[in-house]
Amino acid sequence: MDRKGIVVKVNELLDTYCNECLLKAHFRKEHGKRKAHRFCIEKCTVGEQLKQFGEQLK
């Protein structure tokens, strides 16, 4: 997959799952932005996919 295709996939994932994520909103409200971000990166399946796409962009 080329760079443009990866960026399109990342945007689709963010728009579909992340923008209105209730877990992210909950963690952000209760524990702050850093905790919410850590959750997304370490435990969320969508975050794992985003990391894989990021590795492909390097």
- Taking only the tens place, the pLDDT of each residue in 16-53 is 999 999 999 999 999 999 999 999 999 999 999 999 99
CB of 56 closer than 8 Å to CB of 5: no
- The domain segmentation of the chain, as residue ranges, is 3-57
> Distance between CA atoms of 35 and 1, rounded to whole angstroms?
32
CA–CA distance, 56 with 58 (Å, rounded to integer):
6
DSSP state at residue 44: -
Classify 2 as helix, strand or coil.
coil
Record the tokens describing residue 52, joined without a space.
């894989």
- pTM greater than 0.85: no
